[in-house]
């Protein structure tokens, strides 16, 4: 049971640890800092520059599709590198298996291309 005691201690520390700075900030705000609200102080903070438009704007979901297609080939590299390093020691079946894997990815790209996903609208 002693191992669970240790876990309980960890849990207690994990809860107390973030509470301390929060409590300090609250105490500081209430005891020392003078309350002087103003237009600049209450505006939304965006990297220090004055906000010109509301934050809720739409942007193209195309970025997401590009990222997905990119990710596929990113992962492909991870598999191709060790394959290339051990190429001479591998049997024919491993070569075939990797070619099938590449075919799967390439067909995915061809499919996305034919569906017009790569055209920027």
Partner 1 sequence: MTSLLQSLMSESILVVTALLVLGLGVSLPKARPLITAITILGGFVAAAALLLFPLDGNFLHGMVVLDPLARIFKLVILGLTLVAVVLASESFPVNHFAESLALILFGTIGMMLLVGTEDLLMIFIALELTSIPLYILAAFDKESRSSAEAGLKYFLIGSISAAFLLYGLSLIYGVTGSTNLPEIARLSGAPDPLLIAGIVLTLAGFAFKVAAVPFQLWAPDVYEGAPTAAAALIASGSKVAGIFILAKLLTSGLGHWAGAAGWEQFLPGWAPVLALMSAASIMLGNITALAQSNVKRLLAYSAIAHGGYLLLGLCSATTDSLTAVLFYVVIYALTTAGAFGVVAIVEKQRGGSRLDDFNGLAKSSPVLALCLLVFFISLAGIPPLAGFFGKLYLFTSALANGQHLWLVIVAVAMNAVSLYYYLIVLKHAFVLIGPEDVRPANAPASQVLVAFLALAVLALGLAPNLLLTPLSKDKTTKVAALTTDHLP
Check binding of 93 to partner 1 (CB under 8 A): yes
Check binding of 77 to partner 1 (CB under 8 A): no
Quick one: angle between helices 92-114 and 62-85, nearest 10?
170
Answer for which of 12, 27, 71, 97 binds partner 1 (CB under 8 A) is 97
Among 72, 63, 97, smallest CA distance to 83 is for: 97
Check binding of 99 to partner 1 (CB under 8 A): no
Q: Closest separation between CB of residue 15 and partner 1, Å?
A: 21
Helix, strand, coil tally for the chain in percent (to 5): 70, 0, 30
Check binding of 86 to partner 1 (CB under 8 A): no
Tell me whether residue 55 or residue 114 sits nearer to partner 1 (CB atom). 114
What single-letter DSSP state applies at residue 44?
P
Under a CB-based contact definition with an 8 Å cutoff, are residues 109 and 87 in contact? Answer: no
SS3 34: coil
Answer for which of 9, 12, 110, 118 binds partner 1 (CB under 8 A) is 110
Check binding of 103 to partner 1 (CB under 8 A): yes
Answer for which of 6, 22, 114, 119 binds partner 1 (CB under 8 A) is 114
The whole-angstrom separation of Cα 46 and Cα 23 is 26
Site residues, partner 1 (CB under 8 A) = 91, 93-94, 97, 103-104, 107, 110-111, 114-115
């Amino acid at each position: 049971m002693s191992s669970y005691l240790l876990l309980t201690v960890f849990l207690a520390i994990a809860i107390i640890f973030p509470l301390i700075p929060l409590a300090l900030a609250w105490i500081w705000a209430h005891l020392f800092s003078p309350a002087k609200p103003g237009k600049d102080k209450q505006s939304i903070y965006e990297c220090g520059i004055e906000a010109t438009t509301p934050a809720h704007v739409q942007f193209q979901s195309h970025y997401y599709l590009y990222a997905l297609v990119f990710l596929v080939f990113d992962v492909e590299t991870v598999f191709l590198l060790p394959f290339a390093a051990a190429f001479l020691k591998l049997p024919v079946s491993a070569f075939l298996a990797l070619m099938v894997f590449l075919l799967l990815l390439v067909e995915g790209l061809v499919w996305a291309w034919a569906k017009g996903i790569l055209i920027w609208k």
